[in-house]
A and B are shown apart, each in its own frame.
Chain A
Amino acid sequence: DIQMTQSPSSLSASVGDRVTITCRASQGISSFLNWYQQKPGKAPRLLISAASGLQSGVPSRFSGGGSATRFTLTISGLQPEDLATYYCQQSYNLPWTFGQGTKVEVK
């Protein structure tokens, strides 16, 4: 199985800050990488597909990048409603696997 490792596991930042989350794959996965946002008590929400494809309705302050084994999710201008846990997921090889999550807190 492909292992997905996120860093940091949690972070606290102020409103307006630029926040970057990193996701590393245990082997190369090209650009087959998705990002999800999960708010407490809710289902995950797809933010970005294929490493950098912003989903319809997702604010433009979210952006994704990277390829092969290293990927990033950036929030440019953190907002209070961005309080959530963020997960990466590889769609390169079965079984589809997720990272352990990065919890974002807003100061």
Chain B
Amino acid sequence: QVHLVQSGAEVKKPGASVKVSCKISGGTLGELSRHWLRQAPGKGPEWMGGFEAEDGATLYAENFQGRVTMTEDTSTDSFYMELSSLRSEDTAVYFCASGSVYATFAYWGQGTLVTVSS
């Protein structure tokens, strides 16, 4: 059974960066897609970017281009999302998600609350 475990909550000041991690167990990076989504309070999830083997590259949503970087470490089956130039509107729960069917998020991390406040 695939399980995703994320790093803990973060509080950041405007203009700072945040890096969230996601570790896969019960599967490997090579077998699964890896994506990042976020969810603001009372809103639906918003896809930020991710990697699908079929695409052969990490793709980012236009809303986050230039501010988000997604990386991975195959030695630990972990992947990471770094968001820079944070503003108050970036306050949200950030989720990693994965799956074996294209653009279908079958497995989710528990979520990481990122609060941006001065």
Given contacts A100-B43, A101-B44, contact A44 B105 (CB under 8 A): yes
Would you list the 3 A-B pairs with minimal beta carbon distance, nearest first?
A: A91-B103, A43-B108, A98-B44
Interface size on B, residues (CB 8 A): 21
A94-B59, A95-B61, A95-B62 known; A46-B43 Cβ under 8 A: no
Contact for B104 among A34, A99, A100, CB less than 8 A: A34
Q: Does B106 contact A (CB under 8 A)?
A: yes
Q: Which residues of B contact A (CB under 8 A)?
A: 43-47, 59, 61-63, 95, 99, 101-106, 108-111
- Residues of B near A49 (CB, < 8 A) are 101, 104, 106
User: How does the 8 Å CB contact mask read for A65-107 relative to B, with 1 for contact and 0 for none?
Assistant: 0000000000000000000000101010011111111000000
Kindly list chain B residues whose C-beta atoms are within 8 Å of the C-beta of A45. 108
A29-43 interface (Cβ within 8 A of B)? 32, 34, 36, 43
If A43-B95, A98-B45 are given as contacts, then 18 extra A-B residue pairs at C-beta distance below 8 Å, sorted by A number, are A34-B105, A36-B105, A43-B108, A43-B109, A44-B45, A44-B105, A46-B105, A46-B106, A50-B101, A55-B106, A89-B45, A91-B103, A91-B104, A94-B61, A97-B47, A98-B44, A99-B44, A100-B44
- Chain A residues near B59: list those with CB within 8 A: 94
CB distance from A100 to the nearest CB of B (A): 5
Q: List 28 A-B contacts (CB under 8 A).
A: A32-B103, A36-B45, A36-B105, A43-B111, A44-B45, A44-B95, A44-B105, A46-B104, A46-B105, A46-B106, A49-B101, A49-B106, A55-B106, A87-B44, A87-B45, A91-B103, A91-B104, A94-B59, A95-B47, A95-B62, A95-B63, A97-B47, A98-B45, A98-B47, A99-B44, A100-B43, A100-B44, A101-B43
Q: What residue of chain A has the Cβ atom nearest to residue B105's Cβ?
A: A46
Q: Are A91 and B102 in contact (CB under 8 A)?
A: yes
